[in-house]
Structure 1
Amino acid sequence: MAQLPDDRARQEVTALVEVTRMDPRVWPDVRDPGSVEEIREAFGRRCWIHYIPHAGAIEVRDIGSVG
């Protein structure tokens, strides 16, 4: 989060994480063939997260932002 460009991007990522946490199974599965992890992704207007659902919670694996 500290590497995001500004407070607005951090706020957007935080909001996206909260929405995703509320229902982590609604976002698409983006597993590579042969992967053992159930990596999914969710997108905001200027940001995205890659995460893994775990029993009603999520583990965020990657965060990104455009600009």
Structure 2
Amino acid sequence: MHRHGAVFEDLAVEVMAELPTGEARREVLELIDAARTDPRAWPDVRDVGSTEEIREAFGRRCWIQFMPHAGAIEVREIGWAG
């Protein structure tokens, strides 16, 4: 799945499909846009020795795990606590 400079892994696509429409999806998409706009503003959570840059971004009721790629991000996981 591709959206606004973001590529979604299968797990992230499944979570997006299960989110309630409206506010939940809007909050997740806003967080994805914020992460895409400034990916290095979010903490790097990669394991020691890993060569993949993995970051996490947190919203009010959601979080994402992503990898930055030259002006885009790859969304690996989405979490929703709402």
User: Contact 1:51 / 1:58 at 8 angstroms: preserved in 2?
Assistant: yes
How high is the TM-score relative to the length of structure 2? 0.74
Where do 1:44-63 residues align within 5 Å?
44-63=59-78
Q: Which residue pairs with 1:36 in the alignment?
A: 51
In 2: Cα distance, 1:7 partner to 1:35 partner: 37
- 33-42 or 1-10: bigger deviation: 1-10
User: Contact 1:16 / 1:43 at 8 angstroms: preserved in 2?
Assistant: yes
Higher relative contact order (CA 8 A, sep 6+): 2
How high is the TM-score relative to the length of structure 1? 0.89
Structure 2 residue ranges without an equivalent (≥5): 1-15
Kindly report the root-mean-square deviation, in angstroms, between the aligned alpha carbons of the 2 structures: 1.2
Q: Which residue pairs with 1:25 in the alignment?
A: 40
- Over 4 Å off, 4+ runs: none
Q: Which residue pairs with 1:7 in the alignment?
A: 22
Structure 1 residue ranges without an equivalent (≥5): none
Cα distance change of structure 1 residues 38 and 5 upon mapping to structure 2, 3 Å threshold: same
